[in-house]
Structure 1
Amino acid sequence: MMEHSASDSETEDHVQPLLRRKDTGEIQKAPACCSSRYGLAFLSCYGFFVAYALRVNLSVAMVDMLKNRTSANSSSSVCPHHSSPVPKHNHTASVYDWDSETQGWILGSFFYGYILTQIPGGYLARKYGAKWLLGIGILCTVIFTLLTPVAADLGAGYLIAVRVLEGIGEGVSYPAMHAMWASWAPPLERSRLLTISYTGALERIWFHV
């Protein structure tokens, strides 16, 4: 009878959540200052800032890349015509005669590639290493971003293909970071570290204001 009650108490202690258990001894907390986990959080914050800048740079540049057409991002009700003449810009780069439908395909093509690597990115990160996958994905996005002017000069189809490849490269960023934090973030600090890490993606607010 005593053996049965002892086993029951052990089972109850085993199923009791960690946060509700009483401390049986002093547990030394890992220091936060100059720690690797917080260094990773701030570096990933800057990495997501760069990643989102690579995503939206064409949306900003599209306004000045077009000939006498209304951009997909502009509206006459928001920006009415000026009564006084507006000074013309001295274009040093090429301008393109793309209609609204072509502009929509160019701006949306990134996300066709982006959605393809969401689930495979998590699998590859756990199998081959998250840091290599994240680094290679951002590097590929940077390289294809540098090829954007060349692709635009060749034609809208080439630019759409380059944007799809950019999306494929950047689509692994969030799955790789989740896999990385699964190994680096302590359970009681996970929400804090993830908040610091993903704060870099909040720059989308600054771009849309």
Structure 2
Amino acid sequence: MSTAAEANVAEKEISNDGYLHMAQVQTSRKGFCSVRYGLAIILLLCNFTIFAQQMNLSIAMPAMVNNTAPPSHPNASTERPTTDSQDYWIETLKEFKAVAPVYDWSPEIQGIILSSLNYGSFLAPIPTGYMAGIFGARSVVGAGLFISSVLTLFIPLAATTGVTLLIVIRVVQGIAQVMVTTGYYSIWVKWAPPLERSQLTSIAASGAPLGSFIVFAVGGLLCQTIGWPYIFYIFGGIGCVCCLLWFPFVYDDPMNHPFISTDEKEYIVCELTQQDCSPGWSLPIKAMIKSLPLWAILVSHFCQSWPFYIMTAYTPTYINSVLQANLRDSGILSALPFISGFICIILGGLLADFLLSRKILRLITIRKLFTAIGVLLPSVLMVSLYWVRSSVTITVTLLVLSPGFSSLCDSGALINILDIAPQYTGFLKGLSKVFAQIAGAISPTAAGFFISQDAELGWRNIFLLSATINVLGLAFYLIFGQAEIQDWAKEQTVTHF
């Protein structure tokens, strides 16, 4: 009898401990003041730094050259009749010359320089993602952040030395930045519970529009006051400081983090036990090549990146040349679209996880719905820009709304790799970045070519081509996209090359 009584007491204690443990797990699940959300904030700062360093040349370019608007005919003389607008630009350029050097770069050269960040970077994502998946993202991302920040400090000197050196530095810098934007993604394989995946990744990704917003908002003012070189000095220095935060507070696995609580660690591990996230040295290459859901993601990355790189590279130039705004106002106007992207990317992640956790929509429905909205509405707004260019208010409104809607893709196709193949997230994210970087290497160069051929109709052709590519990519994703873990991503021992 006593034995039975003791057993009953033990069962009650176990039951109480179980309820207590479940309560602690629920607290870990709901608490935003946790290590995993702190990690998201640090990654937000890294993305902020990297994208500020990517965009600083875009806002500095109008101040670095003596003319951002091409002649009306490719072979026409650069001497044109003086107008009030031209007089204004001459006076503005005199201000630039007083504080920083000005270079005689044609629109074609400007397009090549802006695109050069992506020329070599399409070679880096696959090995970067693979190494991050095998050895951990901590060292890969930290090294990339440091290299990119140091090279940013040398861009003014490189520009003065010559175009060739500037392009070389931009190519190396692009590779280093890919180490960050590709490598950090694999961290979420072991840190992001499925029901929090969209919001955690969206918080980290929101650093991209935030960095673009800040550099555009203050960049024009810096150019007109202390000179365009200080854009590179300031944001390069910020990047070096961010490197000091990376290694003490970021770890590849919650099991090894020195500051994480036991409850949060157990919660993350329990939530991820149902999926195999252990990367292998071998890759199911043949199965990946035959996987249409994977191709849907890759094609979507390429098509969505095409207009993204054009708008980020040419928004200040468009506002300068078409709307005839001075550089300070151009920087502020160019910054507004990115603040909408910063806000909407976070809200989109929260909404996606809400719809999934309440079982309102299936996961694949959420991915495709968010992608469709993030592609169709920005495409319509982009095409409309050419026909409303006479109105500054309408143009700026369209430019502001477009990134807000586009950011929904971060909770759609852009995160879909974590759904279909968490085991190979690092490698596949690198592969998707290859497609994105190829688009980034081609699109600004093509835009510069269109503008050099015809300053007015060139913008129309740029917008129409970008919208067409974007919509075609959406159609391919809607047909072949999936959200279930693929069979080739479930295998423990996979086939070799």
TM-score (norm: length of structure 1) = 0.76
* Residue matched to 1:206: 338
Shift of 1:143: 0.9
Cα 1:195–1:70 change in 2 (3 A) is closer
Q: Partner letter of residue 152 of structure 1?
A: A
Task: Give aligned-pair identity as a percent.
Answer: 39
The correspondence of residues 1-209 of structure 1 with structure 2, limited to 5 A, is 27=22, 28-29=25-26, 30=28, 32-67=31-66, 69-70=67-68, 82=84, 85-86=87-88, 87=91, 88-90=94-96, 91-203=98-210, 204=212, 205-206=337-338
Q: Which whole-Å deviations, capped at 9, do the CAs of 1:4-51 have from their partners, x for residues lacking one?
A: xxxxxxxxxxxxxxxxxxxxx753322524311000011111211111
Please tell me the residue identity of whatever aligns with 2:114: L
Residue identity opposite 1:82 in structure 2: D
Following TM superposition, by how much is the alpha carbon of 1:158 offset from its aligned partner in structure 2, in angstroms? 0.5
Matches of 1:84 and 1:161 in 2, distance apart?
A: 34
Distance in 1 (alpha carbons) for counterparts of 2:183 and 2:85: 52
* 2:139 alignment partner, SS class: helix
1:148 Cα offset (Å): 0.4
Letter in 1 for 2:95: H
Secondary structure in 2 aligned to 1:89? Answer: helix
Q: Which residue of 2 aligns with 1:20?
A: none
**Deviation digits for residues 128-152 of structure 1, max 9, x if unmatched?**
2202111111111111111101111
Aligned length: 176
Other-structure match for 1:19: none
How many angstroms does 1:85 deviate by?
4.4
Structure 2 gap segments, 5+ residues each: 1-17, 71-82, 213-336, 340-398, 401-497
Q: Cα distance 1:186–1:63, how it changes in 2: closer, same or farther (>3 A)?
A: same
SS in structure 2 of the partner of residue 70 of structure 1: coil
Aligned residue for 2:140, secondary structure, equals: helix
Partner of 2:73: none
Q: Give SS of 2:119's match.
A: helix
1:192–1:206 CA distance, 2 compared to 1 (3 A): closer
Q: 1:191 to 1:173 in 2, by over 3 A?
A: same
C-alpha separation in 2, matches of 1:123 and 1:140: 20
User: The residue matched to 1:172 in structure 2 has which SS?
Assistant: helix
Deviates more, 1:91-100 or 1:134-143: 91-100
Is the CA contact 1:113–1:171 (under 8 Å) kept in the aligned structure 2?
A: no
Residue identity opposite 1:112 in structure 2 = Y
**Shift in Å at residue 84 of structure 1?**
8.9
C-alpha displacement at 1:83, in angstroms?
A: 5.4
Q: Partner letter of residue 141 of structure 1?
A: S
d(CA) in 2 for partners of 1:116, 1:84 = 42
Q: Deviations over 1:150-201 (max 9, x none)?
A: 1111110000000001100001223212210101112221111111111112
TM-score, structure 2 normalization: 0.33
User: Residue in 1 aligned with 2:364?
Assistant: none
C-alpha contact (below 8 Å) 1:113/1:166 kept by paired residues = no
Gaps of 5+ in 1: 1-24, 73-80
Question: Contact (CA 8 Å) 1:63, 1:71: kept in 2 or not?
Answer: no
1:112 and 1:83, CA in 2 relative to 1: closer, same or farther beyond 3 A? closer
SS of residue in 1 equivalent to 2:33: coil
Check whether the contact 1:141–1:170 (CA below 8 A) recurs between aligned residues: yes
Structure richer in helix, relative to its length: 2
